[in-house]
Amino acid sequence: MIELVVSDILCKTSDERAYVMMLKELNGHRKIMVVIGYAEAQAIAFALKGIVTKRPITHDLFHNFAESVGATMQCATISKIDDGTFYSTLMFRINDELREIDARTSDAVAVALRFGAPIYIEEELLKRTAIHDEFNGAVSIPITIADNETLRNVLDKAIKEENYELAMKIKEEIDSRNTQNDTPEENNKL
């Protein structure tokens, strides 16, 4: 498992209601991007800056409740990606018993920051989804983190520009997702 830290929160210029959270490996240079909403971006920013609101916001309320019942957070783990969406879990210890709770990645990070708990990602998932800062300032993102609609748009553009190598890679990613989502009954029909 690789520990991550929040390195930045950026506003998406195409949609002012969406933000991008950058998570960087603690002792390295790889980063992942997670698209999050305004409320989660604000909650994460407040935790990073140590801002305390007059009344508790949702993530503070969850933190306060968990502490009041004796739950301690062990970690947040980013466990998988599906159609461009990261999936995470929160690990809590309650009365000497470990409990795993499903969470959106943005919420998992916001809660982990309040508990001072580490955020982890599987090595293989980090390898597949890490973004790379290119020499000219452009950022390339792996196709594994793009959603299906984005992949189809990029595929169309690659074909129009006669970039068949890229088109083939994108088509392979789309096909692998379709295969993963098929049920055994659907596979037998093929």
Please give the pLDDT value at position 13. Answer: 53
CB 78 within 8 A of CB 87: yes
Please give the pLDDT value at position 5. Answer: 95
The fold of 2-132 is: Bifunctional nuclease domain (3.10.690)
Please give the pLDDT value at position 118. Answer: 98
CB 39 within 8 A of CB 156: no
pTM for this structure? 0.72
Residue 87, both tokens: 């999936």
Please give the pLDDT value at position 14. Answer: 58
| Distance linking the first and last C-alpha atoms of the chain | 38
Please give the pLDDT value at position 29. Answer: 83
Question: Coil, strand or helix: which one is 29?
Answer: coil
Please give the pLDDT value at position 188. Answer: 41
Please give the pLDDT value at position 161. Answer: 76
Per-residue HEC secondary structure of 74-143 comes to EEEEEEEEECCEEEEEEEEEECCEEEEEEEEHHHHHHHHHHHCCCEEECHHHHHHHCEEECCCCCEECCH
Please give the pLDDT value at position 138. Answer: 44
CB 78 within 8 A of CB 66: no
- Domain edges within the chain: 2-132, 146-183
Per-residue pLDDT of the chain (190 residues; tens, 9 = 90+): 999 999 888 876 555 677 888 899 998 888 888 888 889 999 999 999 999 899 999 999 999 999 999 999 999 999 999 888 899 999 999 998 999 999 999 999 999 999 999 999 999 999 888 876 544 444 455 666 667 777 777 778 778 877 777 777 777 777 777 765 554 444 443 3
